[in-house]
């Protein structure tokens, strides 16, 4: 009773980014059911944090080190987003996007690449490796919204937002779709890549087994 408990999450997100699929683990003594602990956490945690479920796991499980990949979702409202959802989407207002061109640009990110041109420096002085593998990068038309899904082994700081920002410029006709592959190959961040607003992005799922391509669609 009263013993500090350390929680370890699957990873960090940029400031302003939401997470509907965050996973964390902790070690603690609990003499009741997982459901009772879930209810206790739900009434104790601050507004904005709501655990979905709790599972007992082996001591070998680690929320971060055991993860095999993640899925991110970026939401774009085709027009003006109403106040009740404006916090969670990037509104295009009066601007229209060329989805076919954006889809072509998205395909450039699939595979193993050096994503230095689509990342940002955290300012910590750390030299983080910039090679990452993505097995999914695609747009879906959801009526009044466009959704971008990406799945991969790991992501760099502001990487998804930078990818989306560049693809929005493609959709607006500012950058040719084929130029995305050229920017990727430079391995260097320039002013040509602008990060999309954080509020449209959420970490959607953490994978602890790499998903099969046929089962990863959403």
Active site residues: 14
Could you tell me if 160 and 74 are in contact, meaning their C-beta atoms sit under 8 angstroms apart?
Answer: yes
Q: What does DSSP say about strands 69-77 and 90-91: parallel, antiparallel, or unpaired?
A: parallel
Within a 10 A sphere around the Cβ of 117, how many other Cβ atoms? 23
How many Cβ atoms from other residues are within 10 Å of residue 214's Cβ?
A: 6
Structural contact between residues 54 and 17, judged by C-beta atoms closer than 8 angstroms: no
Report the candidate in 203, 181, 168 with the shortest Cα–Cα distance to residue 117.
181
* Distance (Å, whole) CA 216 – CA 218: 7
Residue 18 in tokens: 């939401």
Most distant pair of Cα atoms in the chain: their distance: 60
What is the three-class DSSP state of 53? coil
| 164 and 201 Cβ atoms separated by less than 8 Å | yes
The 3-state DSSP class for residue 146 equals: strand
């Amino acid at each position: 009773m009263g013993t500090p408990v350390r929680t370890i999450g699957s990873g960090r997100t940029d400031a302003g980014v939401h997470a509907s699929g965050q996973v964390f683990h902790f070690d603690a003594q609990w003499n009741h059911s997982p459901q009772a602990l879930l209810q206790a956490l739900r009434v104790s945690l601050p507004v904005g944090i709501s655990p979905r479920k709790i599972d007992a796991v082996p001591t070998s499980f680690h929320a971060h080190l055991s993860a095999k990949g993640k899925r991110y979702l970026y939401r774009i409202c085709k027009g003006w987003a109403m106040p009740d959802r404006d916090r969670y989407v990037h509104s295009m207002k009066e601007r229209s996007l060329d989805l076919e061109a954006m889809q072509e640009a998205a395909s450039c990110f699939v595979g193993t690449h050096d994503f230095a041109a689509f990342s940002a420096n955290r300012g910590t002085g750390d030299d983080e490796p910039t090679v990452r593998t993505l097995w999914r990068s695609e747009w879906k038309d959801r009526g009044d919204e466009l959704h971008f899904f990406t799945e991969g082994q790991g992501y760099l700081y502001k990487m998804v937002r930078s990818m989306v920002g560049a693809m929005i410029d493609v959709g607006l006709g500012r950058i040719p779709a084929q130029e995305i592959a050229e920017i990727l190959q430079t391995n260097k961040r320039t002013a040509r890549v602008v990060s999309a607003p954080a509020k449209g992005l959420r970490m959607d799922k953490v994978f602890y087994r790499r998903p099969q391509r046929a089962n990863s669609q959403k």
